[in-house]
A and B are shown apart, each in its own frame.
Chain A
């Protein structure tokens, strides 16, 4: 039926070329090598020379291997039966279960018409004060977690997966260490969240190109579920590995690199994935949380930098805590006006004072005398860190706001906080006065 070619013209990196006719752009092919079968995708056509990126990598590809074009682009199954299952970056089960081939859908579909988008308005509560109070997560939001290697980002992601108020979770792992993958899986299982999760897992030992498909697979499935009315949370870890895979292919294809070897379209590539986050009017929504590790803790590195421009804010994870500075949820304004009328004031006021505390802290470490005001800030800073920032704090939003007022009242006089007088009148705890 489909024509089979068995002359591979060139092998370079993970890209091979064959002479073939009537091949569509981004079409899929199956290549049979002595190591087994692998999928490959068309990434360039020049007259009758077709370049393909081989998902399993080009190791062991011989010039006479068989290449069979499938006549369609990459597809993935979509079914309720996928819940609780684990697949690899080509969509093949890696948990030993049966293959699922019903309802095949194309991945990387067209983008949502901006005119059909709605203003996000539902907060997703996580019971983590640094998120709920200071940077609320909103349904349809896309947020990365910026972090250096070694920080507990996957633990944070798993905890959000367990606690977040959503219908289902789709986890995409790109270049994850095997232990991390098992830990993640076990946490979801222990927390009883596995049966509402679908996992696409590409581990560090799998071929690099296969990781490139993971975000698209996750998002295509998420999109279908969202259109059926499900509130879907997509967790991706780690998008820096994804970008590095893009870089590898781009360099193999001899594209002019723009910045530190990354291709010039890195922004568009990342954006087309992140922009899949959407709230479909009348049905479900997709929310994306993605880990982006920053090589060398450098936020100006092309991957976190481009990501920051695409996403609706970011969480910085540093020293095991979500940093209040730099961390930002751009959509929080949509939801924190209706939660409680002191929400915004506490949010801004406490951060401003914490910034002053850090300045004092700098002065203190240089050995300067502390003024009475500095002493107050010192006290405040310590209470804020232990009562709010610590990741182990697990309280609902309202309780966290009350705790905020209580911390302020333990340290300051009302007028020192810079908060509006009417709010102070309403919320200032009367019993605890500053000493």
Chain B
């Protein structure tokens, strides 16, 4: 291929204006060359003989007249065995390897192989000569951590492909051809374990998309019981800063009941992703007994890293998620935060001098957000198996105001909304998901009856609280007051969860059902009190006992003893009558 070149004629921030001759493609990758440095860039607009390119690195020191080399390829990621446990930047550069080679700081213009070229993988072929395969079909598998990593026909190959020859079972590197196929035109292709796919194109090689119904267990009580997420669904967590979005994401990445977790730290604090990076290798995945890192991929493009790469990082993460979904796995993508991604689009749009929409976001903001979330889904693969990609994105609305464009555009396309509230976080009620404002379109594993009773009390309790603020406690009837105490009790012992306690941090589905049933019976029971003071004391006592109960191992002896104590306490009050 004859590679095009161009010349820089303008520089503004991370945007270059480049003059070129010949053919170039929208979203094509090019490199701005300055001395030995090659700065990766992407074409984002073409006008006559001028191309506008966003540079994924700092443009400091670039000059007018510097050469630009076009590659002809769209921005892509490498897909193959070895992705799990990796820590990449937004462009799939492996960060630990960069650190090894270049020390504390991120050097400019350095690009490393995302996947090891030396590592050998033990291949078990699944096809034989004469078989006809299509894109996405399995050619063989290699063990990758605890998974069967299927080596697939590259997603870009069209039509029926006839297998000509297959290598024997054995150890191969990712670059060795393992299968040779003949396409419909008779051309032969040697296929390796690795191929590239453009990040901005969704992978939709499946028989059909299916309605997500199976709950994705996060072990956060307020989510699983009240605002559940389904495997293959989407949800968003908007909240002002300090409300606990990232902590919630971290907990989910630890305890969620899925095969693979992809964490995209997009334009957020580096410190947060570092916690995950340093702790995950040490933490044990309760499902497998292996290190949590073995099921995790981290994409870290933090706030001080180049903005254009931040925009790409979300797509990079999604593409990796879709790749593993093709193997019939349940994948959870956690994007923190989609607002930073939207802001990256805004910066770019501003430099392109596009006509701004609301709050200067580009007019295509909504469609981009919708496209992103639509890449989630539960799908039926060619072999009848199912795989899912669930997307959970945090949103950081300016001023904590949900009326802003990013939150609103997101709410239109997600299946569950976990709205965090500053009042709850100020009152240290964590997770600070607002129990009345949030919603979910998915079904919970907890019997609907218990949930609706609880929700009812939360609403009534909030009303009484409002009223009490006006008329005072003495102006509130005892019945209303008890309702209020009940709702506060439910809030304290079920909605709130201590993320730092090893037991309380993760509540399994059985325990959630068990506990909410207990709570529902307390809510429904007619309790007799002489006065409000007695009622308050009773509920404080009960709350204390329940909180202690939450800290006890599920089904341990202490757990059962504590349960009896609680039941006795409740009985005492119901039989007084």
Per a CB cutoff under 8 Å, which of B87, B353, B399, B473 touches A256? B353
> Given that A44-B12, A47-B10 are contacting pairs, would A24 and B62 also be in contact in the complex, using a CB cutoff of 8 Å?
yes
CB pair B300 A256 closer than 8 Å? no
User: Quick one: which of A275-324 are within 8 Å of B by CB?
Assistant: 275-276, 278, 280, 299-302, 305-306, 308-314
A112 to B548, CA, bound (A): 43
A56 to B304, CA, bound (A): 28
User: A326 at the A/B interface (Cβ < 8 Å)?
Assistant: yes
CB pair A73 B428 closer than 8 Å? no
Q: How close is B422's CB to chain A, nearest CB, in angstroms?
A: 8
User: A185 at the A/B interface (Cβ < 8 Å)?
Assistant: no
Contact with A along B294-318 (1 / 0, CB 8 A): 0000001011110100000000000
Q: How close is A327's CB to chain B, nearest CB, in angstroms?
A: 9
A257 to B270, CA, bound (A): 27
Q: For A267, what are the chain B residues with a Cβ–Cβ distance below 8 Å?
A: 267, 303, 340, 343
A23 to B65, CA, bound (A): 10
Q: How close is B448's CB to chain A, nearest CB, in angstroms?
A: 31
CB pair B547 A373 closer than 8 Å? no
Q: Which of A302, A308, A344, A374 has the most CB of B within 10 A?
A: A308
Q: For A118, what are the chain B residues with a Cβ–Cβ distance below 8 Å?
A: 274, 278
User: A259 at the A/B interface (Cβ < 8 Å)?
Assistant: yes
Smallest Cβ-Cβ distance to B344: which chain A residue: A268
CB pair B399 A119 closer than 8 Å? no
Per a CB cutoff under 8 Å, which of B102, B271, B536, B543 touches A117? B271
CB pair A48 B64 closer than 8 Å? yes
Contact with A along B252-271 (1 / 0, CB 8 A): 00000000000001010111
CB pair A110 B106 closer than 8 Å? yes
Q: How close is A109's CB to chain B, nearest CB, in angstroms?
A: 7
Q: How close is A434's CB to chain B, nearest CB, in angstroms?
A: 13
CB pair B270 A117 closer than 8 Å? yes
Q: For A258, what are the chain B residues with a Cβ–Cβ distance below 8 Å?
A: 346, 350, 356, 359-361
Per a CB cutoff under 8 Å, which of B65, B356, B400, B473 touches A300? B400
Q: For A48, what are the chain B residues with a Cβ–Cβ distance below 8 Å?
A: 64
User: A178 at the A/B interface (Cβ < 8 Å)?
Assistant: no
Q: How close is B265's CB to chain A, nearest CB, in angstroms?
A: 8
A109 to B59, CA, bound (A): 12
User: B13 at the A/B interface (Cβ < 8 Å)?
Assistant: yes
CB pair A45 B469 closer than 8 Å? no
CB pair A348 B533 closer than 8 Å? no
A23 to B60, CA, bound (A): 11
CB pair A114 B95 closer than 8 Å? yes
Q: List B residues at the A interface (Cβ < 8 Å).
A: 9-13, 17, 58-65, 87, 95-96, 98-99, 102-108, 240-242, 265, 267, 269-271, 273-275, 277-279, 300, 302-305, 307, 337, 340, 343, 346-347, 350, 353, 356, 359-361, 396, 398-401, 422, 426-428, 469, 471-475, 492, 500, 532-533, 536, 540-541, 543-544, 547-548, 551
Q: How close is A400's CB to chain B, nearest CB, in angstroms?
A: 18
CB pair A111 B106 closer than 8 Å? yes
Q: For A227, what are the chain B residues with a Cβ–Cβ distance below 8 Å?
A: 104
Give 9 nearest A-B pairs by CB, closest first: A300-B399, A368-B472, A275-B304, A271-B303, A258-B360, A308-B241, A115-B95, A111-B304, A24-B61
CB pair B60 A418 closer than 8 Å? no
Per a CB cutoff under 8 Å, which of A23, A140, A313, A348 touches B242? A313
A interface secondary structure, majority? mixed
Q: For A120, what are the chain B residues with a Cβ–Cβ distance below 8 Å?
A: 271
6 contacts between A and B (CB under 8 A): A111-B270, A113-B98, A258-B350, A258-B359, A265-B347, A300-B398
B interface secondary structure, majority? mixed
A160 to B234, CA, bound (A): 45
A45 to B303, CA, bound (A): 26
Q: For A177, what are the chain B residues with a Cβ–Cβ distance below 8 Å?
A: none
CB pair B105 A111 closer than 8 Å? yes
> Given that A25-B62, A373-B536 are contacting pairs, would A256 and B350 also be in contact in the complex, using a CB cutoff of 8 Å?
yes
CB pair A368 B340 closer than 8 Å? no
User: A355 at the A/B interface (Cβ < 8 Å)?
Assistant: yes
> Given that A258-B359, A372-B533 are contacting pairs, would A309 and B241 also be in contact in the complex, using a CB cutoff of 8 Å?
yes
Q: For B242, what are the chain A residues with a Cβ–Cβ distance below 8 Å?
A: 308, 313-314, 326, 328, 330
A47 to B12, CA, bound (A): 11
CB pair A113 B303 closer than 8 Å? no
User: Quick one: which of A335-383 are within 8 Å of B by CB?
Assistant: 337, 344, 348, 351-352, 355, 359, 362-363, 366, 368-369, 371-374
Q: How close is B423's CB to chain A, nearest CB, in angstroms?
A: 9
> Given that A25-B59, A113-B95, A118-B274 are contacting pairs, would A280 and B104 also be in contact in the complex, using a CB cutoff of 8 Å?
yes
Per a CB cutoff under 8 Å, which of A115, A306, A355 touches B277? A115
CB pair B303 A310 closer than 8 Å? yes
> Given that A268-B347, A309-B241, A326-B242 are contacting pairs, would A275 and B106 also be in contact in the complex, using a CB cutoff of 8 Å?
no
User: A179 at the A/B interface (Cβ < 8 Å)?
Assistant: no
User: A116 at the A/B interface (Cβ < 8 Å)?
Assistant: yes
> Given that A114-B95, A117-B274, A265-B13 are contacting pairs, would A420 and B108 also be in contact in the complex, using a CB cutoff of 8 Å?
no
Q: How close is B500's CB to chain A, nearest CB, in angstroms?
A: 7
User: Quick one: which of A51-102 are within 8 Å of B by CB?
Assistant: 73
Q: Which of A115, A263, A311, A421 has the most CB of B within 10 A?
A: A115
Smallest Cβ-Cβ distance to B34: which chain A residue: A24
A372 to B474, CA, bound (A): 12
With A112-B105, A113-B99 already in contact, 20 other A-B pairs whose C-beta atoms are closer than 8 Å: A25-B61, A26-B59, A26-B60, A45-B63, A45-B64, A47-B9, A47-B10, A111-B106, A114-B273, A119-B274, A258-B350, A259-B359, A264-B343, A265-B13, A268-B343, A268-B347, A272-B304, A330-B242, A369-B474, A371-B532
CB pair A25 B60 closer than 8 Å? yes
Q: How close is A419's CB to chain B, nearest CB, in angstroms?
A: 9
CB pair B304 A27 closer than 8 Å? no
Q: For A330, what are the chain B residues with a Cβ–Cβ distance below 8 Å?
A: 242, 271
A418 to B541, CA, bound (A): 9
CB pair A44 B11 closer than 8 Å? yes
User: A435 at the A/B interface (Cβ < 8 Å)?
Assistant: no
Q: For A259, what are the chain B residues with a Cβ–Cβ distance below 8 Å?
A: 359-360, 398
Contact with B along A243-282 (1 / 0, CB 8 A): 0000000000001111100011101100110111010100
CB pair A368 B61 closer than 8 Å? no
Q: For B95, what are the chain A residues with a Cβ–Cβ distance below 8 Å?
A: 113-115
Q: How close is A41's CB to chain B, nearest CB, in angstroms?
A: 11
A256 to B99, CA, bound (A): 37
User: A331 at the A/B interface (Cβ < 8 Å)?
Assistant: yes
CB pair B426 A355 closer than 8 Å? yes
Q: How close is A412's CB to chain B, nearest CB, in angstroms?
A: 10
Q: For B422, what are the chain A residues with a Cβ–Cβ distance below 8 Å?
A: 326
Q: For B103, what are the chain A residues with a Cβ–Cβ distance below 8 Å?
A: 113, 116
User: A430 at the A/B interface (Cβ < 8 Å)?
Assistant: no
A275 to B154, CA, bound (A): 39
Per a CB cutoff under 8 Å, which of A46, A115, A325, A372 touches B10? A46
Q: How close is A404's CB to chain B, nearest CB, in angstroms?
A: 15
Per a CB cutoff under 8 Å, which of B105, B240, B302, B360 touches A109? B105
A311 to B65, CA, bound (A): 39
Q: For B337, what are the chain A residues with a Cβ–Cβ distance below 8 Å?
A: 309
Q: For B361, what are the chain A residues with a Cβ–Cβ distance below 8 Å?
A: 258
> Given that A116-B103, A267-B303, A275-B303 are contacting pairs, would A23 and B428 also be in contact in the complex, using a CB cutoff of 8 Å?
no
A26 to B59, CA, bound (A): 8
Q: How close is A107's CB to chain B, nearest CB, in angstroms?
A: 11
